Structure 1
Amino acid sequence: MQRTDVPPDVHPAVLQTVALILRPTTGEPVALETKVLDLEQQPDGSTTLVVACPSGLDPREHHFEATVAWTYPLGRMECTVSTRPGRRAYGDVWLLQPSSPAARLQQRAYFRARVSMPVLLRWPPDDELPDETLDLIGVVVDISEGGLMATVRTLPPAVGTAVEATVRVEGDNLVQGTRVVRHVRFAGGGLGVAVAFDDPTVHGDRLRRLVFETERRRRRR
């Protein structure tokens, strides 16, 4: 993965949903989603992002090493930030102060679109019972020809698990092998799971067309 610096005034838009990764001094990083509530210009020319405090976390917490990421017309953007608690007329917030210029992530990734559709995840409980399967139904949050993110009601399979994923596009069930790449805890308490397709070319044309059509409709609105 390569990072390409972009102009320092690039930032997510007000009311845009962003991904926030917190790196505590102990334990694993925590991935969350939250929303930008305001942009505050500072005397030094920098922009402080005012975001909603994710549900279930202490609004008084400080984080000295965090990353905020968002989708931008240039691609996927990322910026390291520190967070501090704050309060505005609409309640408790976190104030994200950039500690480096925003950067565009250049990687062998695929453009994603936010969609909502059911997904069936199916995997064997263990290697000793290959003919048995566990099923988990979720709702896709975003999808690309390279993978998808879905919300689920129960604990998803462990990271690294080989999973068969089925989504329905234009009346057809698209089935392909995937692998779990991460778990996500959404703001509000929901669980999420991200999977990468083993072979993005299997249904790549169909999914790419879905993504582009979804994005065109969004832009028209």
Structure 2
Amino acid sequence: MAPPELHPAVLQSVALTVRPTSGAPLALQTKVLDLEPQPDGSTTLVVAPPPGLDPREHHFDATLAWTYPLGRMECTVRTRPGRRAYGDVWLVCANAPATRLQERAYFRARLTVPVLLTWTEATEETEETEETEEQPEPVELHGVVVDLSEGGLLATVPSRPPALGTRVEATVRVDGENLTQPATVVRHVAFASGGHGVAVAFAEPRRHGDRLRAVVFAVERRRRSRT
């Protein structure tokens, strides 16, 4: 099965590089206003025209870049002018699949393994509850990892993930072994195929760092051997 399409989230800031007919490329900043699914399964991004540029311009050779939960994504795109209820917009369509730029401290790879996130919902009652009183039951959410490194992971989950900043216990099952460690929810991700995505950063990357690094490198070696 093909991996879910990745794209920026609504209201996320993105970098857009356009190439005028003459002169140097222009590096611009804009924001995603909406995501519009298309009949062919792709997603058109509705973005705000960058200030100072003609909102009626077309761009056939542009590059879109944005922050990914565990790295940075980039893809070539084309833009065309449009209009929505909130004003002039640019409609951005991908010319090719997005690629991941390995910029961060931890090498990562696409792979599919189970994950369990466990946490306690914070409420006004639980904040006021004494330690001697009954504590709320932990919440469990099963998912499937789609991107893993020794520093964190991105997973698809069947229901709404915990809020940003929530501290969780993340248990990844690798080759029959459960690797559990504390983590923090750092981003929610919208997949074009539907469903929910959640990224977590491990609080103690060294706890299972050697094991996860070996798994990630092995996956990448297999991928390269097939290309």
Normalising by structure 1, we get a TM-score of 0.62
In our comparison, the structure showing a higher alpha carbon Rg is: 2
Alignment length (residue pairs): 175
Corresponding residue number in structure 1 for 2:121 = 125
Equivalent residue, structure 2, for 1:135: 140
Over residues 144-179 of structure 1, what are the superposed CA-to-partner deviations in whole Å (9 max), with x where a residue is unaligned?
A: 000000001100000000010101112211000000
- The amino acid of 2:155's aligned partner reads A
CA–CA distance in structure 2, aligned partners of residues 177 and 199 of structure 1: 7
In 2, distance between residues paired with 1:20 and 1:202?
Answer: 31
Aligned partner of 2:65 among 68, 79, 90? 68
Determine whether 1:201 maps to 2:184. no
Identify the range of structure 1 (196-205 vs 109-118) with the bigger mean alpha-carbon deviation. Answer: 109-118
What is residue 29 of structure 1 aligned with on the other side? 12
- How far 1:189 moved relative to its partner? 1.5
User: 8 Å contact 1:121–1:135 — kept in the other structure?
Assistant: yes
Is 1:20–2:17 an aligned residue pair? no
SS at match of 1:207: helix
Question: Does the CA-based 8 Å contact 1:183-1:191 persist in structure 2?
Answer: yes
The unaligned stretches of length 5 or more in structure 1 are 1-14, 32-40, 47-52, 87-92, 98-103
2:106: which partner in 1? 110
Aligned counterparts of 1:82 and 1:94: Cα–Cα separation in 2: 6
Partner in structure 1 of residue 155 of structure 2: 150
C-alpha contact 1:142 1:149 (8 A) present in aligned 2: yes
SS of equivalent residue, structure 1 residue 206: helix
Report whether the alignment pairs 1:174 with 2:179.
Answer: yes
Paired residue for 1:95? 93
Normalized against structure 2, the TM-score is what?
0.60
Give the Cα separation in 1 of the matches to 2:44 and 2:154.
29
Q: Residues of 2 paired with 1:116 and 1:122: CA distance? A: 19
CA spacing shift, 1:164–1:22, aligned 2, 3 Å:
closer
Contact 1:17–1:70, Cα closer than 8 Å, also in 2: no
Contact 2:77 2:93 in 1 (8 A): no
The answer on whether the counterparts of 1:55 and 1:189 sit within 8 Å (CA) in structure 2 is no
RMSD between aligned residues: 4.4
Q: How far did residue 116 of structure 1 move?
A: 0.5
CA pair 85-117 structure 1, distance change in 2 beyond 3 A: farther
Which amino acid letter does the alignment assign opposite residue 107 of structure 2? F
Distance in 2, Cα, partners of 1:162 & 1:42: 46
Counterpart-to-counterpart distance in 2, 1:168 and 1:61: 35
Instruction: Report 1:156-167 matches (<5 A).
Output: 156-167=161-172
